[in-house]
């Protein structure tokens, strides 16, 4: 309890009131969109509303609508908040097929992936908040360069079809998306200081990082479980 109070005091001393209020809005939106995404995934897994091409198109349309209705003043964002949650719903529906396959393999993997995602997101967020201002902004260029290289390598692997390369790419992707939490969090703080108070758009950025981390962990854990089962079968 004392540790929590010390941490809260440290955050209050480091962040100005305007920044604290903005971040409360950002993380409130992330919590809401995460719950909506979970509802979307649940809907798919239980056959209520299946994800697929329509949910992918829906997420693209809603993302475009949010981009073209940006509001740096951060006021009257009720409709854009609905866009965000609509995007989260489509994301959950689109992730539903992956979750369903992993659940059929081993239900505990989904729970473990959720826990690991929460731990990673929380730890990297705290690290970004308490670090000196702008410390992680230099990560932007290298991270984008690595992502571009990974995209080209993925295209080449269509012809090579190396399982080892896919596994290494998943691990590297998890590291990159975790680093993006550091970069995006401090970039949001910098934008707020420059007058950009669009908390809905800022929360979208971190939500996409969060969703990507969850999917990477889910696939890695499922792959590990499948390999373990294959080894047990081959040893019999």
Q: In terms of Cα–Cα distance, which of 171, 128, 99, 124 is closest to 11?
A: 128
pLDDT of residue 13: 74
Q: How confident is the model at residue 205 (pLDDT cuts 50, 70, 90)?
A: very high
- Across 70-75, average pLDDT: 76
In the block, tokens 């003043």 appear at 73
User: Is 90 in contact with 40 (CB distance < 8 Å)?
Assistant: yes
Between 214 and 54, the more confident residue is 214
pLDDT of residue 223: 92
Question: What range does the domain containing 52 cover?
Answer: 2-235
Say yes or no to pLDDT of 173 above 80: yes
Q: In terms of Cα–Cα distance, which of 206, 209, 183 is closest to 25?
A: 206
Phi, psi of 125, deg, nearest 5: -65, -45
Please tell me the total count of domains within the chain.
Answer: 1
Q: How confident is the model at residue 76 (pLDDT cuts 50, 70, 90)?
A: low
The half-sphere exposure of 193 on its side-chain side, counting CA atoms within 13 A, is 10
Q: How far is Cα 29 from Cα 179, in angstroms, rounded to an integer? A: 21
Say yes or no to pLDDT of 77 above 80: no
């Amino acid at each position: 309890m004392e540790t929590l109070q010390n941490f809260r005091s440290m955050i209050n001393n480091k962040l100005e009131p305007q920044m604290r209020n903005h971040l409360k809005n950002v993380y409130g939106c992330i919590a809401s969109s995460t719950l909506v995404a979970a509802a979307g995934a649940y809907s798919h897994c239980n056959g209520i509303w299946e994800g697929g091409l329509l949910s992918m198109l829906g997420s693209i349309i809603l993302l475009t609508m949010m981009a073209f209705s940006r509001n740096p003043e951060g006021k009257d964002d009720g409709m854009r908040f609905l866009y965000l949650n609509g995007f989260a719903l489509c994301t959950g529906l689109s992730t539903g097929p992956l979750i369903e396959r992993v659940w059929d393999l081993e239900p505990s993997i989904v729970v473990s992936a959720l826990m690991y995602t929460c731990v990673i997101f929380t730890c990297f967020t705290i690290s970004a908040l308490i670090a000196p201002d702008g410390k992680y902004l230099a990560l932007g260029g290298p991270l984008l360069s690595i992502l571009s290289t990974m995209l080209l390598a993925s295209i080449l692997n269509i012809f090579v079809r190396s399982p080892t390369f896919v596994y290494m790419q998943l691990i590297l992707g998890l590291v990159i998306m975790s680093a993006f939490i550091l970069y995006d969090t401090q970039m949001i703080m910098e934008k707020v200081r420059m007058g950009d108070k669009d908390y809905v758009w800022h929360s979208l950025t971190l939500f996409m990082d969060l969703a990507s981390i969850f999917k990477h962990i889910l696939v890695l854990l499922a792959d590990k479980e499948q390999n373990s089962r294959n080894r047990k079968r081959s040893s019999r």
